[in-house]
Amino acid sequence: MPFRPFYVLLLLAAISTSYAIPFPRRSASSSTNASVLILGGGVAGVIAARTLHEQGITNYLIIEARNELGGRLTSHKFGAKDHQYTVEVGANWVQGTETPGGNTNPIWTLANKHNVSTVYSDYFDSMTTYDYTGQMDYLDLFNKSIDAYTMLTDVAGARVARREVDSTSRTGYSLIGSKPQTPQEMAAEYYQFDWEYAQTPEETSWIASSWANNFTFDPSEGGFSDENYLCIDQRGFKTIVQAEASEFLDQHQVLYNATITDIAYSPSGVQVSLADGRVINGQYSIVTFSLGVLQHDDVVFEPTLPDWKVEAIQSMTMATYSKIFFQFPDNFWFDTQFALYADKERGRYPVWQSLDLQGFFEGSGILFVTVTGDFSERIEALPDSQVQLEILSVLRNMFPNVTIPDPIDFYYQRWHSDPLFRGSYSNWPASFFSEHHENLRADIHGRLWFAGEHTSMKWFGFLHGAYFEGLDVATRVADCINGGGCISLQHFNEVKNARSYTVG
């Protein structure tokens, strides 16, 4: 989208007087400039733009590959033509809302401000349990798994206070005596753990997963509340950022359908190249691409990023969370919000949600099932038809006395294969140290900054993590511009053990 002519003149005047572009100009079909280039228009990018705007900085440019703002707030029109609903294939819940006298989740604030419809999601008290023989009541095991998870996070907190090392959440579960053996016990554990982190306890840090949980859901630890609200707004959950952006963003401050291929940076500025050959120069840049995009080298940095940054990027994990939607002609299933299915294989089509319920999309015939981690990657590699067949056979296990009808519609998003995301959200493995995380977040030369859910130490993975990072990093960039100099974030050239490994 071209700049308005008067704006270009103002910008060029500002650029020629305030800074020099340090790069040899590439041959490009066109070239534009802005003081701050915000790379990516998800929650972090939009909130970064709003923050600059509030600080009086207007010559910024959001560069976004898709044709709309929102990023992983992605909705999809689903169902038969005369029976369609907007469903969320990306983020769906406000996780943790507010506590009177305590903290408020800013995503909750945005949802309320823009009248986005949400409904209370009853994670723990609206559950029907199944296994491969049909409906099977193992709610006692389910409730035990809730207690085990609470203990897991409590004991992690005590380890932090004693400066004890991190470990995997599997080790943590074992140390508190929770060792699921049966398919039912494993399904119950999956619901508490994998369904949130999109990876197994083996793949996840015990301490970091506990603090992300507590800083979100436990008001006594600074969290918002233990409630989850599901977005059912027919404009899509993305409304929270699109409506917010419409209050301050001019059309010349965003470029849509603009895929970035290269980012050149130096101590005096940043130059971004697009797939269509355009080249854009900036004084500062805020990179908000997902961790998966950074890991996958979808965008090439020139010069290559320093070793400490590359190690940080490659040491965190991009996990995948997949919701698989069905529309059926009739509702033949449970009347609770959730159902749990215990297969002999852990993580095989375990968590089910009905949208055909009063207060949700009553009469819609929509049911969805969630899978995560390696199982998500597996189904992304399969054709839709095979995944559909597998799930229909699971439904036949769950409802042996029902003739399962053919679905009217079927859809799932392939997040892991998508070059704009390469997964759903980040997860913290036990081998990832706090110093790694500081390196993930640290800027380079005070010019190249990084923000997104993955740079949030407290709230990695969550929408509110992306929000707070967009806010914090843009505040720092605004200080660089308004204050005349940058205070860079600290980084560690090498992440070392307190004591070296000893052999023999």
Ligand X SMILES: Cc1cc2nc3c(=O)[nH]c(=O)nc-3n(C[C@H](O)[C@H](O)[C@H](O)COP(=O)(O)OP(=O)(O)OC[C@H]3O[C@@H](n4cnc5c(N)ncnc54)[C@H](O)[C@@H]3O)c2cc1C
- Residue set of the binding site: 64-65
The phi and psi torsions of 370 (rounded to 5 degrees) equal: -115, 135
Q: How far out from the chain centre does Cα 270 lie? A: 26
Distance CA(199)–CA(3), nearest Å, equals 44
The phi and psi torsions of 40 (rounded to 5 degrees) equal: 110, 135
> Is residue 379 within 8 Å of 371, Cβ to Cβ?
yes
Distance CA(99)–CA(107), nearest Å, equals 14
Q: How far out from the chain centre does Cα 76 lie? A: 17
Read off the tokens for 316.
């965190």
Query: Which position among 299, 340, 444, 477 is part of the footprint of ligand X (CB under 6 A)?
Result: 299
> Is residue 149 within 8 Å of 96, Cβ to Cβ?
no
Distance CA(288)–CA(284), nearest Å, equals 13
Residue number with CB closer to ligand X (91 or 141): 91
Which one of 85-93, 153-161, 345-353, 437-445 is the stretch in contact with ligand X (CB under 6 A)? 85-93
Query: Which position among 62, 240, 420, 474 is part of the footprint of ligand X (CB under 6 A)?
Result: 420
Query: Prior bond to 303 cis, omega within 30?
Result: yes
Query: Which position among 91, 280, 395, 478 is part of the footprint of ligand X (CB under 6 A)?
Result: 91
Q: 3-class SS at 444?
A: strand
Under rule CB under 6 A, residue 449 binds ligand X: no
Under rule CB under 6 A, residue 264 binds ligand X: no
Under rule CB under 6 A, residue 143 binds ligand X: no
Under rule CB under 6 A, residue 453 binds ligand X: yes
Interface mask toward ligand X for 99-118; x: CB under 6 A: --------------------
Selection from 416, 106, 435 nearest residue 291 by Cα: 416
Under rule CB under 6 A, residue 462 binds ligand X: yes
Query: Which position among 249, 398, 463, 474 is part of the footprint of ligand X (CB under 6 A)?
Result: 463
- Number of residues counted as binding ligand X (CB under 6 A): 39
Q: Which residues are annotated binding-site positions for FAD?
A: 64-65
Query: Which position among 38, 152, 270, 293 is part of the footprint of ligand X (CB under 6 A)?
Result: 293
Residue number with CB closer to ligand X (184 or 205): 205
Under rule CB under 6 A, residue 428 binds ligand X: no
Distance CA(298)–CA(315), nearest Å, equals 17
The beta-carbon contacts of 74-80 under 8 Å, at least 24 apart in sequence, are 74/238, 74/413, 75/236, 75/237, 75/238, 76/325, 76/411, 76/413, 78/325, 78/327, 78/366, 78/409, 78/411, 79/327, 79/364, 79/365, 79/366, 79/408, 79/409, 80/327, 80/408, 80/409
Query: Which position among 333, 421, 433, 450 is part of the footprint of ligand X (CB under 6 A)?
Result: 421
The phi and psi torsions of 198 (rounded to 5 degrees) equal: 65, 15
The phi and psi torsions of 386 (rounded to 5 degrees) equal: -70, -40
Query: Which position among 90, 236, 347, 373 is part of the footprint of ligand X (CB under 6 A)?
Result: 90
Residue number with CB closer to ligand X (285 or 288): 288
Nearest 10 degrees: Cα torsion 279, 285, 288, 294: 70
Query: Which position among 73, 208, 398, 442 is part of the footprint of ligand X (CB under 6 A)?
Result: 73
Under rule CB under 6 A, residue 295 binds ligand X: no
Under rule CB under 6 A, residue 466 binds ligand X: yes
Under rule CB under 6 A, residue 40 binds ligand X: yes
Read off the tokens for 360.
């949700």
CB of 289 to ligand X, least distance (A): 5
Which one of 60-68, 157-165, 205-213, 479-487 is the stretch in contact with ligand X (CB under 6 A)? 60-68
CB of 56 to ligand X, least distance (A): 23
Query: Which position among 43, 116, 232, 286 is part of the footprint of ligand X (CB under 6 A)?
Result: 43
Under rule CB under 6 A, residue 373 binds ligand X: no
The phi and psi torsions of 280 (rounded to 5 degrees) equal: -130, 130
Which residue number places its CB atom closest to ligand X?
71
Residue number with CB closer to ligand X (278 or 309): 278
Query: Which position among 32, 35, 225, 288 is part of the footprint of ligand X (CB under 6 A)?
Result: 288
Which one of 18-26, 70-78, 357-365, 381-389 is the stretch in contact with ligand X (CB under 6 A)? 70-78
Interface mask toward ligand X for 244-263; x: CB under 6 A: ---------------xx---
**DSSP summary character for residue 250:** -
Under rule CB under 6 A, residue 425 binds ligand X: yes
Under rule CB under 6 A, residue 233 binds ligand X: no
Residue type, 323: K
Radius of gyration of the chain (CA): 24
Distance CA(35)–CA(5), nearest Å, equals 17
Distance CA(434)–CA(437), nearest Å, equals 5
Q: Where are the alpha helices (DSSP H) in 230-383?
A: 239-245, 291-295, 307-315, 373-380
Which one of 2-10, 41-49, 309-317, 386-394 is the stretch in contact with ligand X (CB under 6 A)? 41-49
Query: Which position among 50, 72, 436, 437 is part of the footprint of ligand X (CB under 6 A)?
Result: 72
Residue number with CB closer to ligand X (59 or 97): 97
> Is residue 47 within 8 Å of 471, Cβ to Cβ?
yes
Residue type, 115: N
Residue number with CB closer to ligand X (141 or 258): 258
Residue number with CB closer to ligand X (149 or 368): 368
Q: Interface residues with ligand X (CB under 6 A)? A: 40-45, 63-66, 71-73, 90-93, 95, 259-260, 288-290, 293, 298-299, 321, 415, 420-421, 424-425, 452-453, 461-463, 465-466
